[in-house]
Each structure stands twice: as C-alpha cells, then as structure tokens.
Amino acid sequence: MKSPLNVFLLNAAIVSSCASSITLMQCAIAPGIGGISPAFSAAAKKEEPKPRPHPADNHAAQERAHEQQAREQQAHQQQERAHEEQARQQQERAQQQEQRQAQQREMQSREREQKQEQKQEQKQEQKQESFRQEHPARAEVLGRDANLNRDLNEDKGDLSGHYGQLKSEDQRIRRQEQNDAAHDDGRITGKEYNQLNREENGLSRQINRDNRGSGDAQFQENHPLRSEVLGRDANLNNDLNQDKGDLSGHYGQLKSDDQRIRRQEQIDAMKNGGHLTGQEYKQLNREENGLSRQINSDRRPANPPPLKGQQAPPERATPAPVLQGNVSASQSAQAQQGYQNMQQNLYPVQQPPANYQQIATQQSAGYLNNSQATVGGQPININSGNTYINNVPQSNYPSWWGGGGGGFGGGGYAGFQPPGPGWGWSNGFVLGAMINAGIPWLRFGWPHYYGPPPSGFIHPPNYFPTPWIYNPMMNAWREAGQMGWSPVPPPPEYTMPITVQVIEPVGMGNQIVMYNAFYHPRFGRWGYRNRFGYFVWLNSPAPM
C-alpha cells in the first residue's frame, strides 16, 4: 500500500514530465495514474467545444434586425416629414403675417399721405385766404394776372405771332407787382394798384385784339386768307393732340410739320404788313392738305384695299397644328374649321413691303415712348420701363427647345431650333405696370385636341406686349390680361402695334407663338414676319 506522500510525489513527477510534451488533459488521463484529480477534471470540462448555432436561427435573427432597422428608418422619415410640414406651415403663416403687415403699412402710408395732402391743401387755402384778407389789392392784381396768363397759353396760336411779346409783358407786370410789394413791406399803394390795373387792362385789350378765334370778326374781315389758314391749322393741331397715342408713332413728326406750317405763316405775314399773298396762301393750303392726309392715313380704313401679289403656300407659311391623343369626330371638325379660319385670316407672302422695317422701327419707338391706351376701360401709359415680358432663364426652357430642326425651316415637328439669335421663351408679361398676364390668361381658349395647355409662349427677338391680341383661328380679339374674348376689335384710330397669337407645331406637340404686327398705312392693315421666313398680312374683315 502506497502512502499518501508517495502518491503525491508520484503525481507531481508525472505532471512535471508531461508539461513539456503533452497537454494537461493527456497528463490527467495518463496510464498508471491512480485517478483524475478534481482540478484536472474541471479544466477538461472548460476546454470542451461549445455547440454551433443552427443556420436557420442566424437567418431569423438577421431578418428581425432588418425589420427593426426598417421600422426605425420609417419612424425617422415620418419625423422628418412632420418637421418639414411644420416648417412649411410656419413659413406660410410668417408670409401671411408679413403680407398683412405690408398691407397695413401701405394703408397707413396712404392714409398719412392723404392726411398730409389735406393738411397742405388746408394750409394753402388758409394761406391764400389770409393773403386775400391782408393784401386785397395784391390778391386782385395777381388773380387778374393769372387769368391773363391762362388766356395767353390757351390762345398761343391765335395771337398774330405776338405770343412771345404778350407773354413778356405779362411777366413784366408780375415782376413789377413783386417789386412794388417788396418796397412797401409786402403791400402795394393805391397808386401802384391803379398803375398795375391799367397795365393789365392794356394787356387784356391786346390779347382780345390779336385773338383770331371763331368769334373774332374783325380779324377775319381784315385778314381773310390768314384767318382761313390759321383756323385750319388750329383744327389740325387739335386733331393731332386728340390722336396723340393713335398715330403709328408719328405724333412727333406730324406735330413738327404743324409747327413748321405755323411758323411759315407768321414769317409770310410779317414780310407783307400782316397779310398773305395769294401764292403764299396756296402754298400753305397745300402743306395743310398734306398734313391732313397724313393724319387721316394714320387711321385704319373701314374697308382696306384688297391684297395683291402671289400668296405663299399656307401649308408651309402657316402650317396646321398637330392633333394630339384620341380625337373625336366633332373635335377633328373643329380643328379643321380653325385651320380654315387661319388660312382665310392670314395672307402669307414671300417678302414684306420695302419700307416695312422702317415703319416697324418708328412704331416701336413711338409705342414705347409713353403712348396712351385703354385696356378693360382702364387708361394706361406705356413705355419701355413698364412694359416687358417675364424672362425665363434658358436653363428652365422646355426640353424640346433646340432639340433638332426637322421640317419647316428648322422649326417643325422634331423640335424647336430658333431661326436666329434673340428668340426666347416666356411665361407672362406686364403692360403699362398695371396689367399682368400669366399662365391662366395664356391658356384661355386653348383647344384640348392640340395637347396639354402650354406653360409659356415662344417669342421673336425684341417682342413687347401690346394692348390688343389677335387670334386668327378664332378670328377674335383679346385685351391684355382680360379673361375672355373682346366683343369688339380695336377702335379705328388704333394703329399702334398689336400681337398675333398663333398655335404652331413644335416638337411632338403644339405651342403658342406671339408675334408683334405693325400697321402699314398704304395697305391699311397689320403685318408681321413669322419664324418660317414669310411675311404675313392680317386679311380678315374682323381685325380691320
């Protein structure tokens, strides 16, 4: 029987010898050892391999992780949308509040201006009343002088060429009154008052004597030729002033001609002791007849002369729009009728009249130089600063812009290739700073069988908005910014530029093209150049 000490020493020796060559587990179970110690048994249990998870368990865990991630992402997106909606609502409320505040400020500003104007008027009336009470003699003299000055200005052309002299005398009387008042502490003496009254009476007699209006029988008796010439000149001048905005941009030229005739009459009369010779009378009459014809030619005739010359092929000069989608029989008939109207109302030719460009340039300059017009019963003033189209950045032009050039001189069905530089795309315009026309106005009357309604219009270089717009398919007129067709065309005295609104094939669909048309007095109608290289006259009774 082995003693415990011998057993212990034997186990220690075995462990020590095994440490360098075999594992602890092998030592623990080496033969000849009288048993496995608890420590060795525990170590062996620790080093036993763990069981590997089943693949199906891994897949289920991954799906649960993905679902959790998707739920978190969806919750995050919902939160972001909620924040965006909240921010949008806050911005809208802020904008509405700002608009209300701006309107309130504007109303308050107008009220302050009105109150200020009322105060100024009250102060002026009080000042005038105070002046009349403190200086009755001066108030009477100055009041008479104001009336004389008004008579002079009203009768400027009927004063025998003495307007400058009489105006100088009136100014001398006014200066004398001011000098007299300055010498007497703001007052005039009785003697000065009587003297100023005598001078004003003398000036009044001169004005009445030189005035050759319709009631001046003495001048008509003494100068019958001059009276007739000057009477006609006064009528021509009145016609010019009444038709200032309707003279095709020729107002300045015609006014200059009228002033030249008047100066010539005064020069002729001064050379002959205040009379005209028979030859001078005939020459002035010829010049006035010519001026009258010019004024009348700038009014549109009720029946313009028929157009002559070979008409260009309509299918090339004014091609028909392309039907889009499923079109019913009635819609097809409407489209056919519209194109027939267009062919009837437009008269394309190869070339414009020789002076067309000169007329267009003159009319454009006159139209954009504070011309007067009426839109929807509202008078407006038109100039280059308050009349313009809405420019769209070229980066926002439609996709078909510049996209190929099949057919019709580079502007047909495959895309729109601008015929030259300066052509553009716009989505609205402003006329006279008061009329705004946008997409809703532009889409009015659009036939749905021509495809989706447009989001803008094509325009040639230097296009500008006009009060009147003609639609040849409908043979109808529109006023700028007015929703609906006008029951009447432009009045006969309107000879300023107009817009012709044409539906043309562009890309795979149709678009609106806006052209400026200019009035030609010799032909008695408007005409324009189109993008297909033709000159087109308006040829319908309605637009005339």
Residue 302 domain flag: no
pLDDT at 447 (0 to 100): 92
**Ordered per-residue pLDDT tens for the chain, 544 residues:** 556 556 555 555 555 554 444 444 454 444 444 455 555 555 555 555 666 666 777 788 888 888 888 888 889 889 988 988 999 899 888 988 888 888 888 888 888 888 888 888 788 777 777 777 777 777 777 877 787 777 777 665 555 556 677 777 888 888 888 888 887 777 888 788 878 877 877 777 777 655 544 445 566 667 778 777 877 777 777 666 655 544 555 667 777 888 888 888 888 888 888 888 888 888 888 888 777 767 666 667 777 888 887 899 988 999 999 999 888 999 999 999 999 999 999 999 999 998 899 889 988 988 998 888 889 888 899 999 999 999 899 999 998 898 644 333 333 345 788 988 999 999 999 999 999 999 999 999 999 999 999 999 999 999 999 999 999 999 999 999 999 999 889 988 888 999 999 999 987 889 999 999 999 888 889 999 999 999 999 986 544 4
Indicate the number of domains in the chain.
4
How many angstroms separate the CA atoms of 486 and 85, rounded?
A: 44
Same domain membership, residue 256 and residue 222: yes
Same domain membership, residue 279 and residue 334: no
Same domain membership, residue 238 and residue 334: no
Same domain membership, residue 148 and residue 262: yes
pLDDT at 405 (0 to 100): 40
Residue 495 domain flag: yes
In this structure, the number of other CB atoms found within 10 A of the CB of residue 20 comes to: 6
Residue 50 domain flag: no
Residue 67 domain flag: no
Same domain membership, residue 286 and residue 168: yes
Residue 504 domain flag: yes
- Could you give the 3-state DSSP secondary structure of residue 227? helix
Residue given tokens 């008047």 in the structure block: 262
pLDDT at 15 (0 to 100): 52
- Measured CA to CA in angstroms, residue 234 lies from 12, 155, 283, 300 at distances of 146, 10, 17, 23
Query: In this structure, what token pair is assigned to residue 242?
Result: 């009444």
Tell me which residue range forms the domain holding 11. Answer: 4-45
Burial readout 290-318 (b: 16 or more C-beta within 10 A, e: otherwise): ebeebbebbbbeeebeeeeeebbebeebb
Same domain membership, residue 150 and residue 221: yes
Same domain membership, residue 386 and residue 406: yes
Contacts of 37 (CB under 8 A, 6+ apart): 11, 28
Q: What is the CA radius of gyration of the chain?
A: 47
Residue 286 domain flag: yes
Same domain membership, residue 430 and residue 505: yes
Same domain membership, residue 468 and residue 424: yes
pLDDT at 408 (0 to 100): 37
pLDDT at 49 (0 to 100): 62
pLDDT at 293 (0 to 100): 67
How many angstroms separate the CA atoms of 229 and 285, rounded?
A: 7
pLDDT at 268 (0 to 100): 86
pLDDT at 478 (0 to 100): 95
